[in-house]
Chain A
Amino acid sequence: DVKVTQSSRYLVKRTGEKVFLECVQDMDHENMFWYRQDPGLGLRLIYFSYDVKMKEKGDIPEGYSVSREKKERFSLILESASTNQTSMYLCASMTGSSGNTIYFGEGSWLTVV
């Protein structure tokens, strides 16, 4: 059974804190993604990675960075959390070759106070 696991489901952080959101997939997928979901806006792509140590900005990268040191793990980093980063964050992965199914994690609800 395919799995994309986001280790933190619910987090409350203070403004200015550094926040790490971790995502692990067990399908040996090349491509991994971080999306942010806000009501009325759908999901928006923050960053994506198509290989270890490779990353590419998405539509809303400001205030975020990512790390992919191992193929199975893709981390989203908020260097200095702000209240406008309160949101639900979804990690996803897919094979980079001929696959067409994108698998999403359960989501991480982040509240910045």
Chain B
Amino acid sequence: ELKVEQNPLFLSMQEGKNYTIYCNYSTTSDRLYWYRQDPGKSLESLFVLLSNGAVKQEGRLMASLDTKARLSTLHITAAVHDLSATYFCAVDRFAGGTSYGKLTFGQGTILTVHP
């Protein structure tokens, strides 16, 4: 059974600081997703990581994937208040055929950025 664990679950940061959210998963997978969720809202897709060593960056966020270590990281650079949200990683349980999209999610990391 695939398990996905994020840490930390709660992260309080000062504006301007850097930090990393970690996502560990228990079985092999070739797809990992990062999502952002604002309170009361749906999920916003941030990154899709498709191969070992994949690195993607958008603004102050950078995500990477190490499939051998079964680890993905979401690095936040020079945090700003607008980044306050809940961040989820999710691993695809793809097992052949057309069954992409069956995701196992981490518990989520609640990020609060303070002035």
CB within 8 Å: A-B pair count = 62
The reply to whether A106 and B42 form a contact with Cβ atoms under 8 Å apart is yes
The reply to whether B98 and A31 form a contact with Cβ atoms under 8 Å apart is yes
The reply to whether B98 and A100 form a contact with Cβ atoms under 8 Å apart is no
Q: Is the interface of B mostly helix, strand, loop or mixed?
A: loop
Stretch at the interface among A14-22, A68-76, A88-96: A88-96
The reply to whether A102 and B102 form a contact with Cβ atoms under 8 Å apart is no
**Could you mark each residue 28-63 of chain A with 1 if its beta carbon is under 8 Å from any beta carbon of chain B, else 0?**
001101010000111111001010000010110000
**Could you mark each residue 3-14 of chain A with 1 if its beta carbon is under 8 Å from any beta carbon of chain B, else 0?**
000000000000
The reply to whether A58 and B43 form a contact with Cβ atoms under 8 Å apart is no
Write the chain B residue with the least CB distance to A59: B104
Name the interface residues of B88-107: CB closer than 8 Å to any CB of A: 88, 90, 97-107
- Which of under 10, 10 to 19, 20 to 34, or 35 or more describes the interface residues of A? 20 to 34
- Using Cβ atoms and an 8 Å threshold, which residues of chain A touch B31? 100
- Chain B: how many interface residues by the 8 Å CB criterion? 23
User: How distant is B100 from chain A, measured CB to nearest CB, in Å?
Assistant: 7
- Using Cβ atoms and an 8 Å threshold, which residues of chain A touch B108? 42
B residues near A (Cβ < 8 Å) are 4, 31, 33, 41-43, 45, 48, 50, 88, 90, 97-108
A residues near B (Cβ < 8 Å) are 30-31, 33, 35, 40-45, 48, 50, 56, 58-59, 90, 92, 94, 96-97, 99-107
Give 3 nearest A-B pairs by CB, closest first: A42-B105, A96-B98, A43-B105
